[in-house]
């Protein structure tokens, strides 16, 4: 389960960015083709955050659907697989979304 290591990295990055202040909420974008299971991240988060500035923080995960643009006809379309062809038949596509794994935002307590 590589999600445990990924969750540890997320907690570490957010904790450093928080500058010593408690974190109330973390929002992640997880693409459907990222190779990461959002449910596993959510499961690991509470355990990994224990004893850190993120303890008791809420985790919001936004699932990002796959989208691509055809390099032949220029059409943009939803994709359900990594190698889906465009309606014109071309498989020469540019992936627009669905592979991301990023921290979108975090909410921290205000400084005293």
Domain positions in the chain: 3-107
Tens digits of residue pLDDT in 34-44: 999 999 999 99
Listed in order, strand segments (DSSP E) in the chain are: 23-31, 58-64, 66-70, 76-79, 93-97, 101-108
Q: What pTM did the predictor assign? A: 0.86
Tens digits of residue pLDDT in 56-103: 999 999 999 999 999 999 999 999 998 899 999 999 999 999 999 999
Calculated CA dihedral for residues 63, 66, 67, 73, nearest 10 degrees: 180
Are 107 and 24 within 8 A, CB to CB?
A: yes
CATH architecture under which domain 3-107 falls: 2-Layer Sandwich (3.30)
Task: Give the Cα separation of 5 and 84 in Å (integer).
Answer: 30
């Amino acid at each position: 389960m590589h999600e445990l290591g990924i969750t540890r990295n997320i907690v570490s990055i957010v904790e450093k960015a928080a500058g010593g202040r408690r974190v109330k909420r973390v929002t992640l974008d997880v693409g459907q083709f990222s190779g990461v299971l959002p449910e596993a991240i959510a499961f690991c988060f509470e355990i990994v955050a224990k004893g850190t500035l993120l303890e008791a923080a809420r985790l919001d995960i936004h699932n990002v659907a796959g989208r691509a643009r055809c390099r032949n006809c220029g059409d943009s379309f939803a994709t359900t697989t990594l190698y889906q062809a465009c309606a014109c038949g071309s498989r020469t596509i540019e992936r627009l979304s669905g592979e991301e794994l990023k921290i979108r935002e975090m909410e921290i307590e205000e400084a005293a």
